[in-house]
Structure 1
Amino acid sequence: MAVIHHTTIVPSKDELLTAWLPTRPWYRPAAGGPRLERAGGFRLDDPAGEVGIEFMVVTDTAGDGPVSYLVPLTYRGAPLEGAEDALVGTMEHGVLGRRWAYDGCHDPVLVAELLALIEGRARAQDQNASDLPDDGIGRSFTGEGPVAMAPTAVTDGRDATELHDAAQGATLRLNRVLRSGAPVQGAAGEVTGWWRQLDGTRARGAFAVLRTAGRD
């Protein structure tokens, strides 16, 4: 299990995301730049114990209406080779030292563990506490596993990031702009989660959707 260190991080994750989010095609521009509030999320464990994996939900209140974003991040103790374009930024961790934060859609460790979560081989962990499962994260899988995607393309759209594996005929979609709603029909697998709205209530919707060959 990953150990959560309650310590200083400079710059903070919020500061990194405030600078990074406006560079994304799925970000909804707002006057004056993002004003972010933490709204939820969860973690996954790296079996090798080397990479931190966090799925953050942040809500931007700068525009005409709040927009909640799913931001999967990985934290590494050294640069990830070939992932320069996926670098969110570097930060100094009070316990672990220099950390490189990446858009997790481009990190094979996150992709592998997200697929393991969908299939039921991994369990979501609390975002802020060590050794505490997060039972608020749902998952389903109706396909035949294990699915071992090696994405050949990662595409950012207006609402989501899609990872395509041409050889497997599989697509893993991560919804960046979150909307509440019912489970997706016809998918091979799905991860659902909740996030806090500004009035204190919880919304729930799809975080990630897996489609495989033979499924609509």
Structure 2
Amino acid sequence: MSPRVRGEEQPGFFEVLGTWLPRQPWFRAPRGRLSLTRVGGLRLPTPAGDSDSRVFLELHIFEVAHQDGPVRISVPVALRSRPSAIAGKSAFIGKLTSPEHGELWVYDGAGDRAFLAAWIEMSRREQGSRNGRSRGRAHAGFAFGSPWTLELRRTGADAPKEGVTRSIVRREHADSQGEHDRDEIVMDLLRRPAGEQDELLESLITLSEANCEVIPKVLGTIDGAWKQKDDADDAGYWVSGILGVIREAGISGPDGTSIMRRALQAGDDLSDSARAAGRAVGTFHADLAGSFGAHPQTQEQLRIMTANVQSTLTQQWEQVRSEFDDDEAADLNEVIDLMRMQLRDADEPLMLQQIHGDLGAEHLHRTAGDAWVIREPEGLMSHALGLRDVVTVLISAADAVMSVAAETPEILRAAAEQEAAEAEQEGQSDAPAEPVNFGQWYEEFTQAFLSGYRESDADSAGVDSVFFRAAMLTEALDLFRRWRGQWVFRPSMLLQVDN
């Protein structure tokens, strides 16, 4: 059996990394010469079946000298005795020549399937390092899944945030839907590990363990450790943090904004999908309330909220009133006066809970079977009203409708010409579909979304309250201003304005 190779002990190892790192999008290259200090890491067992009998898998944690202070980075590598055609040039870091081990080809672990398989199995089997400083953890039943082998494919994906390398990993012989035994997963390698507790990740793990069906569940995590010094004279102490997260692959599906744009351009009805999306948001709120609790407003909180809603609506109306003609302004003024009176009379406290906070159509992703999952933000908002998420989704949908409507002449003309040509070619006599009535389309989308939300287990009192209607009107008036008066918000909906 060949001796274990340690990358950091090989001549030229730090030099090839120093050449490769500045070209990586997640790396903050310092000015001047690059200085790397290894402060931690782990070594993984090599999966069976690799064509290279001498492949060694490692993850190194380095401290990089930087003008703004030391920066910590995580670099997974695969050391191979020969070039790997599967990992390819995109993952190639450099070549080493060792008097003891001969030629060693260094690859980025994020693109090497042996590393990916070992990384997944470390989490699924909850394996730990001999020194106890690293451990994989499985969640949401991931430990009971079948083993991952080298028979997998990796596709790069857009990173959820800076300093993360995201991969979509799929078994080579998975079924076409990728749903059997979680045959497709998302892996996030954290290139900048931190010792601080990630509250959002902890919340997502709690939801995953509670079997929340509308988020891509957290299936596993891998913890690592590194030595940290507070100053040059400090002997140092060990700090641990998350190095990788494995999740279900739902967020790889198309997002709500893209789906809406395609439906509007094709003149397709989206009511069924809108109802399912509303039900997903409601289920998300119900699961958050069940996992983290919810409580009614105090009378003082209700009083303050009422005053704020009235003030915000009044200010927004004053900013855009002059953009309406006299009849339109009179109609809206009457609606707003009635709403102010209803707000003054409102005395039923609403439920406060944890929510997304800035949920938009772009955060909703459709999976197989017209199901929806929700992509989380950087953090969750505590002690908030669930109606805020509903408002932000519907207003983001209205913004998407406006965006498509601004392109309407070109879209409708091209679509009509294409449809007429296809009908003529196929010998059909049917006339092209009528142009989309954007106001009606959005009205139907909104009603379907709200119906779906009410069908969920979420507390729907908020979306049936005057506070929801006031928030929708306030945001819609702001949208009208941002679109420079091209659209008018009626009491129920945005309607198209004739030029």
TM-score range, shorter chain: 0.7 to 0.9
Decide whether aligned partners of structure 1 residues 164 and 2 sit closer, same or farther in structure 2, where only a CA change above 3 A counts: farther
How many angstroms does 1:63 deviate by? 2.5
Decide whether aligned partners of structure 1 residues 2 and 55 sit closer, same or farther in structure 2, where only a CA change above 3 A counts: farther
How many angstroms does 1:113 deviate by? 0.5
Instruction: Encode CA deviations 1:34-89: one digit per residue, 9 max, x unaligned.
Output: 21111100101214453110100001013211111110000111101041121110
Instruction: Encode CA deviations 1:3-40: one digit per residue, 9 max, x unaligned.
Output: 335796332x2112111111110111211142111110
Question: Does residue 216 of structure 2 align to residue 180 of structure 1?
Answer: no
> Which residue does 1:194 correspond to in 2?
225
CA distance in 2, matches of 1:209, 1:79: 28
Conserved? CA contact 1:29–1:63, under 8 Å? no
> Which residue does 1:21 correspond to in 2?
21
Instruction: Encode CA deviations 1:151-197: one digit per residue, 9 max, x unaligned.
Output: 23255662110111373442110000111123633221000111112
Higher relative contact order (CA 8 A, sep 6+): 1
Question: Does residue 65 of structure 2 align to residue 68 of structure 1?
Answer: no
> Which residue does 2:11 correspond to in 1?
10
| Correspondences of 1:1-216 after superposition (within 5 Å) | 3-5=3-5, 9-11=10-12, 13-48=13-48, 49-82=53-86, 83-120=88-125, 122-124=127-129, 133-142=130-139, 143-144=141-142, 145-146=145-146, 148=148, 150-155=153-158, 158-165=162-169, 167=178, 168-182=183-197, 184-185=201-202, 186=205, 187-199=218-230, 200-213=236-249
Conserved? CA contact 2:80–2:104, under 8 Å? yes
CA distance in 2, matches of 1:79, 1:169: 27
Runs of 4+ in 1 over 4 A off after TM superposition: 5-8, 154-157, 213-216
Query: Secondary structure, in 3 states, of the residue corresponding to 2:122?
Result: helix
TM-score normalised by structure 1 residue count: 0.84
Higher strand share: 1
CA distance in 2, matches of 1:147, 1:171: 16
CA distance in 1, matches of 2:106, 2:18: 14
Conserved? CA contact 2:157–2:166, under 8 Å? yes
Query: Secondary structure, in 3 states, of the residue corresponding to 2:244?
Result: strand
Decide whether aligned partners of structure 1 residues 109 and 122 sit closer, same or farther in structure 2, where only a CA change above 3 A counts: farther
* More moved, 105-114 vs 28-37: 28-37
> Which residue does 1:127 correspond to in 2?
none
Aligned residue type for 1:80: S
Conserved? CA contact 2:186–2:246, under 8 Å? yes
> Which residue does 2:456 correspond to in 1?
none
How many angstroms does 1:114 deviate by? 0.6
CA distance in 1, matches of 2:127, 2:154: 20
CA distance in 1, matches of 2:100, 2:17: 21
Which of structures 1 and 2 has the bigger CA Rg? 2
Instruction: Encode CA deviations 1:108-159: one digit per residue, 9 max, x unaligned.
Output: 00000111100117553xxxxxxxx231102210233236453232556621
Higher helix share: 2
Decide whether aligned partners of structure 1 residues 98 and 69 sit closer, same or farther in structure 2, where only a CA change above 3 A counts: same
TM-score normalised by structure 2 residue count: 0.38
Aligned residue type for 2:115: L
